[in-house]
Structure 1
């Protein structure tokens, strides 16, 4: 069961080279399960027992499974993110080098491990806006072949590289696209051919590099999975699968996957935007509920902020906390931080541990070393717009922000199980000191 689940994850990631493709695949999965798309610019007609989803910017999505007994309802929210560190192709991308090479002008998106992008097959994917009559239509782009590569400088020409080297993204990280036969405009021509449109009809694009290396299940006992974008498509995939499996009549179940977490979430489609609040408020109103009902619901609502965590590195165990450190294939990670970079507190940890216990899933605890700064995630950012109890969780992995990351095959299965348990449950506020979880 562990390997089968990981193979399904692998298939999802292979078909999701960018956030736009990931969200499109999620939308198709929701449609297959009877979910109806709502457009933000149109009037919404929602009802108890309905199943809906909303997409913003083609890169963020929120889905809802509405219960039928909503006298004392709350929101069960699982949130993840669709983006990963990579390189974005700039406008006027082609750079000619002495008439012999053409390389592409790119810039970094997010905090990547630059060294992992060298000497491996890469390609280009994203979206293009194509003019069709009076409309500008979004079309997904994926050049499905080994297209570009970022070549290393030979050690003979950079003798100090193994002693530490600061990569310059404008110099070292530009991908090689073509040789002396490449002509100016070939890149735009390739994009147009991929879309089967005229070059003049492409009015805009968001295009990114992606790693072409196939995901792999490996290890002495096939216990590991390596792939691009495990952070955070592993959590996005497992959250969606648990959402589709779970159901309860007293809650509104919510699956949310936001873009731009890797660059701070401060966009119209990021966790810091009004997207989640907008959707929850509109659904609340569409169900005939008022503001008082909405705020009462939020008081008992709960978010699982799902974003991967750092496993103990086999060569550098000193990089993690002595006690609050985690290992692949040993369960879901609960992340805590005194400075509130993570939303987990005693209340949310206790409730989540209860879900894990009921699901029969092991749980681990992570905290950064007290003398080291850690990363942040989307939970506390989303709470600036919609306040509810929240716990930050994730799956343990190695080489976070590499172009090829590693995790454990058991943990994918564990996350689906606990997500299903969460979405099968209903949380009620008993008083200011206690919450109750019921089926």
Structure 2
């Protein structure tokens, strides 16, 4: 069961090289499960027991499963993100080098590890906006072949490379696209051919590099899985599966996957936007409930902020806190931080521990070393728009923000089991605590 779950997860990731593709993959899964799309720009017709989803920018998605007994309802929310660190192709993309090479002009998206991007087959994916009559239509792009590579400088020309090197993204990280026969405009021509449209019909492009290396299940006991974008598509996929499996009639279950977490979430489709509030507020109104009912619902609502965590590194165990450190294949990680970079507190941790106990899923705890700054995630950003109890969780992994990351074979299964139990639960705020039934 562990290996099959991991194989299904990496298959999803392989088909989702960008946030646009990830949302498209989620839409296909939801459509197969009978979910109905609600366009933001149209009036919604909502019914008890309904199953719906909403997208924004084609890169963020919120899915909804509505109970049938909503007298004192609340929202059960699992939130993750669809984007990963990579390189975005600039508008004027081609750079000519001495008439012999053509490079693609890129810029970094998010805080990536640069070194692992070298000397591996890469390609290009994203979206293009195509003019069709008087309309501008979004089309997905995925060049499904080895297309570009970022070549390393030989050690003979950089003798101190192994003593530490600061990569310059405008100099060192540009991918090689073509040789002397490559002509100006060949890149856009290639994209037009992929879309079967004329070059002049393409009016805009959001294109990114993606790693072509195949996923791998490996280790002495096949205990590890490696592939691109585990942060955070592993959490996105597994929490979606838990969402699809779970149900309770007294709550509205919500699966949310936001774009742009890797660059701060401050976009119209990010966790810091009004997207979640807009959807929940419209949903409440569509069910015929008043404003007061909405805020009562939020008071009992609960969010799982799902984003992967740092496992102890075998070569550098000193990088993690001695007691609050985590290992692959040993369960879901609960993340805490005194400065509230993570949303976990005593109440939310207790509720989640109880849910995992019912699901039979192991739990472990992570905190950063007190003398090292850690990363942040989307939970506390989303709370600025829609406040509720929230716990930050994730799955332990190595090589975070590399184009090829590693996780444990068991942990995807654990996350599905835990989120299914979460979505089976009705959570209600009480005067001196929280009811979970």
Structure-1-length-normalised TM-score: 0.99
1:434 matches 2:428:
no
* TM alignment of 1:103-122, pairs within 5 A: 103-122=103-122
Q: How does 1:11-410 map to 2 (within 5 A)?
A: 11-410=11-410
1:147 CA drift (Å): 0.1
> By how many angstroms is 1:429 displaced?
1.6
List per-residue Cα deviations over 1:330-354 (Å, max 9, x = no partner).
0000000000000000000000000
What whole-Å deviation, never above 9, does each CA across 1:153-201 have from its counterpart, x for those lacking one?
0000000100000000000000000001101100000000000000000
> Which 5+ residue runs of structure 2 have no aligned equivalent?
none
SS in 2 for 1:128: strand
Partner SS for 1:10: helix
SS in 1 for 2:138: strand
Give secondary structure in 1 for the equivalent of 2:156: helix
Q: C-alpha separation between the residues in 2 aligned to 1:202 and 1:377? A: 35
- Structure 2 CA distance for aligned equivalents of residues 48 and 288 of structure 1: 11
Mapped to 1, the partners of 2:429 and 2:151 lie a distance apart of 58
Output one character per residue of 1:62-83: Cα deviation in whole Å (capped at 9) or x when no partner.
Answer: 0000000000100000000000
Q: CA deviation at 1:136?
A: 0.5
In structure 2, how many angstroms separate the alpha carbons of the residues matched to 1:91 and 1:352?
45
Q: Secondary structure at 2:400's aligned position in 1? A: coil
- In 1, distance between residues paired with 2:255 and 2:289? 21
DSSP 3-state at the match of 1:27: helix
In structure 2, C-alpha distance between the alignment counterparts of 1:79 and 1:104, rounded to whole Å = 34
Following TM superposition, by how much is the alpha carbon of 1:92 offset from its aligned partner in structure 2, in angstroms? 1.0
Query: By how many angstroms is 1:428 displaced?
Result: 1.1
By how many angstroms is 1:430 displaced? 1.9
| Local SS of the residue matching 1:344 | coil
1:379 CA displacement: 0.2
Q: Secondary structure at the match of 2:410?
A: helix
Deviation at 1:408, TM superposition (A): 0.2
CA distance in 2, matches of 1:409, 1:195: 37
Distance in 2 of aligned mates of 1:350 and 1:44: 36
Q: TM-score, normalised by structure 2?
A: 1.00
State the distance in 2 between where 1:290 and 1:214 align. 51
Distance (whole Å) between structure 2 residues aligned to residue 358 and residue 197 of structure 1: 54
Cα distance in 1 between the residues matched to 2:66 and 2:279: 13
Q: 4+ residue runs of structure 1 moved beyond 2 angstroms? A: none
Provide the rounded CA distance (Å) in 1 between the counterparts of 2:246 and 2:197: 42
Q: Deviations over 1:218-248 (max 9, x none)?
A: 0000000000000000000001000000000
The runs of 5 or more residues in structure 1 that have no matched partner are none
- Is residue 7 of structure 2 the alignment partner of residue 2 of structure 1? no
The alignment of Structure 1 onto Structure 2 pairs a total of residues equal to 437
- Deviation track 1:234-276 (CA, whole Å, cap 9, x = no partner) reads 0000010000000000000000000000000000000000000
| Rounded Cα–Cα distance in structure 1 between residues aligned with 2:93 and 2:436 | 54
Distance 1:94 1:146 in 2: 18
- Per-residue CA deviations over 1:348-371 (Å, capped at 9, x if unaligned) read 000000010000000000000000
Tell me the CA shift for residue 106 of structure 1. 0.1
